[in-house]
């Protein structure tokens, strides 16, 4: 207990060190705790609401009406106690009095939804959409469609296909709980029995048929899911035509949306914690360095080295726990920012809180982390020897290098383990650690070379510059710590915007390509000529009219495709083999052959012993480990055909033109029943609503995607994700600023005698302030300059590897970061040294006695 009391008294006497050590560690820990709290809250929200989100225990989905045999399989596996609801989903155009828009139609029966409920405005009965053609929708959807009246009535109608539907009710809450609030089109609900006369379920319509299932309490739903998949696979050994999803798939899908970015934010917050740990170790080194003689005296009076270690351990653990408490408070204040940053990407209504696990993790990281960070400094206790007091010193000059290396080992293990934990997989953790270590080595090397250069820059008659650069050189350890801290924070802030700018530029204005205004789908084979004649009298050009035939990939090199091992990330479910195939005389501008010769222009003849030629998109080939020369067997509407991969082509999907993974040689699909895709370009903004309305009136079955609206949505997503990443990067900068302030304050105290001497010799207050400004301004500028250059190189490599070289250098942003970092470092240094600068020389002389 004596050592504990002495430890607390020592911290109270050194309030400045205690305060900065705690605040520094709390800022670094705050972001990490906030990200973990958000992730755990999101997972808890899913666990509590999975059934309501799915509206069932499991869902069976097919692209065609369920056959009697498929329904028999469901009956045998699920038993008689299952409750079912049948739903048809598809996208189509809807016409109202004022607008024409793409919508998602939910054609439901009386039992939907099986979980949750249908919350309608008072006085509206859910059976209204089954008694006559009518629709339910949310009020947000109504506003989107130009329906602004407060209450529905018979005069509010919209047209689906060939049938007018009355708006008979508004939802208080949409029963279909979407995983995200960003959707391709708003939803409207109709009765499934009212679709027959619309003409929207004809050949080629992209319709999904769903059977929602609710099981009795206590049912092993995952086991039933697997049994259903096996049963459907038995009906179609080559490829199950039916998909089965349960709540685990809902959770997996949302994790794909947010998991990568939450993981990246957590990794960035880990870097912030690392930077704070560096500053903590530096602060503790200065604190411990002033105690060597005191510790040697205590040891000469009989104190054991273990007791001294317990004394220092108690101090570090206490400060770490206090920092953890402060970090928990800060994270609690930061949590509301996450739904705003990821707006549209996470479910609405998510409740964010901190549980005991998060609190325990924070306390553990704070208490034990402070020891891990300061362990390389604590090994200096081994050099303290009481006998050296007779020589006027208390410690030997150096520590055994092996002990020093061993002291860094726990910190390295801690960082790698943390990266693996928050990165989602060991591979991600190792990749991030390797990249971080490389950046750290580059910054340390650049800082060391820069410190050496300061010695040469100090050879000047200008007093301010001479002393500023001499200070940087003489205090190389502190200068290097500041340099690395600033550089790492600026690197994180500068890295992502370069990739983001390239992605947004490529989405909005792809180089060498023209973005269409509309993308047309579900064009029937007998409508192509009529559509071409129709567009001749309309504003805009009809481009890239492309046939589309639905089929299945049966095998690759005689190995069933749905069981074949490849580069695809396994999800435990059969591979999707249904795809859209096409053919064209010439490649589109958005396509480029990267391997192999062009497809033959000579039509392939049925019955030929030679397989027809196939062109495969590079992304599809990479995902499924396909190479030139592989033979593939296809089921095209019941007919088995064999082809051979002839070339690999690069496809720029951001062109928003009709593109396909697989293109067949001319002659294979020409006579197959098909639908068509097309694009409309060069339409002025004021002409677009009218043209869209005219197309739907003339061809009610054609669906139109507004490409400009889609680009806006994609840009919005990129902006939100960039904001979230920058937010965490600025936390890293905040940790760095606390570090800079602490180091600058420590350096100002160490240089108090020099400051006093300059004042005594008549140096003006302004000159002394300028020394600090030049010293830390040069340090900040050099660190930021190295960081932005390195970030440009790293972002270029990331864009090349992950985004097919979609990269753009944002010079203005980088220059702004460079200047802002320099000014912040200068202001921080002046604020930290302010007390010393304002002290009177007489007081400083007394302290130096």
Ranked by mean pLDDT, the top range of 209-223, 326-340, 828-842 is 209-223
The Cβ of residue 439 has, within 10 Å, a number of other Cβ atoms equal to 21
When pLDDT is cut at 50, 70 and 90, the band that residue 176 belongs to is confident
Residue 535's pLDDT is 92
Give yes or no for residue 568 having a pLDDT over 50. Answer: no
CA distance 766 to 761: 14
Q: What is the DSSP string of 227-294?
A: HHHHHHHHH-TT--SEEEEEHHHHHHHHHHHHHHHHHHHHHHHHHHHHHHHHHHHHHHHHHHHTTHHH
Q: What is the DSSP string of 155-213?
A: T-EEEETTEEEEEEEEEEE-SS--SSS--SS-EEEEEGGG-GGG--SSTT--EEEEEEE
pLDDT higher for 725 or 668?
A: 668
When pLDDT is cut at 50, 70 and 90, the band that residue 569 belongs to is very low
pLDDT higher for 571 or 554?
A: 554
Give yes or no for residue 98 having a pLDDT over 50. Answer: yes
CA distance 459 to 470: 9
Lowest-confidence region among 137-151, 372-386, 594-608, 738-752: 738-752
pLDDT tens digits, 492-508: 777 766 665 655 555 55
CA distance 839 to 849: 16
DSSP H stretches of helix in 643-706:
688-698
Dihedral sign for Cα atoms in the order 115, 121, 122, 128: negative
Give yes or no for residue 386 having a pLDDT over 80. Answer: no
The Cβ of residue 345 has, within 10 Å, a number of other Cβ atoms equal to 21
The Cβ of residue 794 has, within 10 Å, a number of other Cβ atoms equal to 19
DSSP 601: S
Residue 383's pLDDT is 67
pLDDT tens digits, 329-357: 888 888 887 777 767 666 666 777 777 88
Report residue 138 as tokens: 């949310």
Residue 572's pLDDT is 47
CA distance 433 to 421: 12
As a whole number of Å, the CA-based R_g of the chain is 34
Give yes or no for residue 596 having a pLDDT over 70. Answer: yes
Give yes or no for residue 509 having a pLDDT over 80. Answer: no
84 bridge partner residues:
213
Ranked by mean pLDDT, the top range of 157-166, 280-289, 342-351, 456-465 is 157-166
Lowest-confidence region among 326-335, 416-425, 636-645, 682-691: 416-425
Contact between 526 and 516 (Cβ < 8 Å): no
Lookup result for tokens 């290097």: 480
- Which residues contact residue 394 at a Cβ distance below 8 angstroms, ignoring those fewer than 6 apart? 292, 293, 295, 296, 384, 385, 386, 388
- Which residues contact residue 343 at a Cβ distance below 8 angstroms, ignoring those fewer than 6 apart? 181, 720
Residue 141's pLDDT is 84
Give yes or no for residue 305 having a pLDDT over 80. Answer: no
Contact between 376 and 418 (Cβ < 8 Å): no
Give yes or no for residue 482 having a pLDDT over 80. Answer: no
Residue 436's pLDDT is 79
Estimate to the nearest angstrom the gap between the alpha carbon of 182 and the chain centroid.
15
pLDDT tens digits, 406-443: 888 888 888 888 888 776 677 777 877 888 788 888 88
Q: CA angle 785-265-504, nearest 5°?
A: 70
Residue 848's pLDDT is 46
CA distance 463 to 475: 18
Residue 595's pLDDT is 93
Q: What is the mean pLDDT of residues 804-812?
A: 66
CA distance 225 to 81: 16
Q: What is the mean pLDDT of residues 243-254?
A: 73
Pairing outcome for strands 703-706 and 612-617:
unpaired
Residue 647's pLDDT is 95
How much of the chain is helix, strand and coil, in % rounded to 5? 55, 15, 25
Residue 599's pLDDT is 93
Lookup result for tokens 């990749």: 431
When pLDDT is cut at 50, 70 and 90, the band that residue 800 belongs to is low
Tell me the three state secondary structure of residue 13: helix
Closest listed residue to residue 207, CA positions, set 198, 215, 216: 198
When pLDDT is cut at 50, 70 and 90, the band that residue 728 belongs to is low
Residue 522's pLDDT is 86
DSSP 608: -
Residue 737's pLDDT is 64
**What's the half-sphere exposure (Cβ side, CA atoms, 13 Å) at 343?**
9
Closest listed residue to residue 674, CA positions, set 492, 547, 763: 547
166 bridge partner residues:
134, 157
Residue 558 exposed, middle or buried by CB count within 10 Å (0-12, 13-18, 19+): exposed
Q: What is the mean pLDDT of residues 606-613?
A: 89
- In the chain, the percentage of residues whose pLDDT exceeds 70 is 76
CA distance 499 to 336: 27
Give yes or no for residue 805 having a pLDDT over 60. Answer: no
Q: What is the mean pLDDT of residues 54-58?
A: 86
DSSP 475: T
Between the alpha carbon of residue 277 and those of residues 235, 397, 733, the distances in Å are 60, 24, 13
CA distance 588 to 598: 13
Contact between 677 and 583 (Cβ < 8 Å): no
Residue 246's pLDDT is 83
């Amino acid at each position: 207990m004596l050592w504990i009391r002495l430890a607390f008294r020592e911290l109270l006497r050194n309030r400045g060190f205690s305060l900065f050590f705690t605040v520094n560690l709390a800022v670094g820990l705050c972001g990490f705790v906030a990200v973990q709290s958000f992730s755990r809250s999101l997972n808890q929200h899913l666990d509590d609401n999975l059934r309501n989100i799915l509206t069932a225990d499991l869902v069976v989905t097919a692209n065609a009406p369920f056959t009697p045999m498929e329904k028999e399989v469901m009956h045998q596996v699920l038993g008689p106690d299952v409750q079912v609801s049948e739903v048809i989903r598809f996208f189509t155009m809807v016409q109202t009095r004022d607008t024409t828009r793409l919508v998602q139609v939910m054609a439901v029966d009386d039992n939907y939804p099986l979980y949750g409920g249908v919350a309608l405005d008072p006085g509206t009965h859910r059976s209204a959409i089954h008694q006559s053609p009518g629709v339910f929708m949310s009020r947000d959807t109504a506003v989107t469609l130009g329906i602004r009246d407060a209450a529905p009535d018979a005069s509010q109608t919209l047209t689906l296909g060939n049938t007018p539907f009355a708006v008979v009710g508004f939802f208080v809450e949409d029963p279909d709980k979407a995983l995200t609030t960003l959707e391709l089109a708003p939803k409207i609900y109709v009765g499934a029995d009212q679709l027959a006369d619309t003409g929207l379920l004809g050949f080629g319509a992209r319709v999904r048929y769903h059977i929602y299932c609710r099981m009795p309490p206590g049912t092993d739903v995952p086991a039933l899911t697997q049994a259903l998949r096996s049963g459907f696979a038995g009906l179609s050994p080559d490829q199950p035509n039916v998909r089965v999803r349960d709540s685990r798939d809902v959770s997996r899908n949302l994790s794909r949306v947010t998991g990568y970015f939450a993981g990246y934010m957590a990794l960035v917050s880990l870097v912030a914690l690392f930077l704070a740990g560096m500053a903590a170790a530096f602060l503790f080194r200065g604190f411990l360095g002033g105690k060597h003689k005191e510790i040697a005296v205590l040891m000469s009076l009989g104190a054991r080295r273990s007791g001294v270690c317990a004394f220092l351990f108690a101090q570090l653990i206490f400060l770490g726990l206090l920092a953890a408490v402060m970090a928990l408070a800060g994270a609690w204040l930061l949590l509301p920012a996450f739904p705003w940053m990821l707006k549209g990407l996470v479910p609405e209504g998510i409740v964010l809180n901190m549980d005991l696990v998060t609190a325990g993790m924070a306390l553990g990281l704070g208490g034990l982390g402070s020891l891990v960070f300061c362990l390389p400094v604590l090994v200096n206790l081994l050099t303290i020897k009481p006998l050296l007091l007779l020589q006027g010193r208390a410690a030997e000059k150096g520590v055994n290098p092996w002990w020093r290396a061993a002291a860094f080992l726990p910190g390295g293990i801690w960082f790698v383990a943390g990266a693996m934990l928050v990165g989602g997989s060991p591979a991600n953790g190792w990749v991030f650690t390797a990249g971080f270590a490389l950046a750290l080595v580059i910054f340390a090397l650049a800082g060391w070379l820069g410190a050496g250069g300061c010695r040469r820059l100090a050879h000047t008659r200008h007093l301010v510059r001479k002393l500023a650069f001499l200070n940087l050189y003489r205090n190389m350890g502190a200068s290097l710590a500041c340099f690395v801290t600033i550089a790492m924070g600026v690197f994180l802030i500068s890295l992502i915007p370069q990739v983001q700018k390239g992605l947004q530029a490529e989405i909005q204005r792809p180089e060498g390509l023209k973005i269409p205004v509309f993308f047309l789908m579900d064009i029937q084979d007998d409508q192509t000529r009529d559509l071409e004649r129709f567009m001749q009298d309309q504003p805009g050009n009809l481009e890239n009219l492309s046939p589309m035939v639905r089929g299945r990939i049966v095998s690759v090199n005689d190995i069933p495709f749905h069981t074949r091992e490849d580069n695809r990330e396994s999800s435990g479910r059969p591979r999707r083999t249904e795809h859209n195939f096409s053919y064209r005389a010439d490649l589109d501008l958005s396509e480029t052959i990267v391997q192999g010769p062009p497809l033959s222009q000579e039509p392939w003849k049925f019955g030929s012993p030679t397989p027809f030629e196939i062109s495969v998109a590079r992304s599809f080939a990479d995902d499924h480990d396909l190479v030139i020369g592989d033979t593939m067997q296809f089921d095209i509407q019941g007919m088995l055909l064999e082809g051979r991969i002839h070339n690999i082509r690069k496809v720029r999907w951001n062109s928003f033109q009709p593109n396909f993974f697989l293109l067949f040689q001319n002659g294979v699909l020409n006579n197959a029943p098909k639908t068509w895709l097309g694009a409309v370009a060069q339409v002025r903004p004021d002409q677009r609503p009218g043209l869209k309305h005219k197309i739907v009136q003339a061809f009610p079955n054609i669906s139109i995607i507004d490409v400009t609206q889609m680009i806006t949505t994609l840009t919005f997503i990129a902006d939100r994700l960039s904001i979230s990443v920058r937010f965490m990067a600025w936390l890293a900068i905040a940790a760095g600023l606390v570090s800079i302030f602490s180091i600058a304050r420590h350096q100002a105290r160490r240089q108090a005698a020099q400051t006093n001497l300059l004042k005594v010799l008549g140096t003006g207050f302004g000159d002394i302030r300028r020394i600090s400004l030049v010293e830390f301004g040069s340090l900040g500028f050099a660190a930021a300059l190295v960081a932005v250059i390195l970030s440009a190189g790293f972002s270029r490599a990331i864009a090349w590897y992950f985004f097919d070289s979609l990269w753009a250098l944002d010079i203005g942003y980088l220059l702004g970061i460079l200047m802002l970092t320099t000014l912040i470092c200068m202001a921080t240094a002046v604020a930290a040294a302010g007390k010393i600068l304002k002290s009177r020389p007489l007081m400083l002389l007394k302290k130096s006695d």
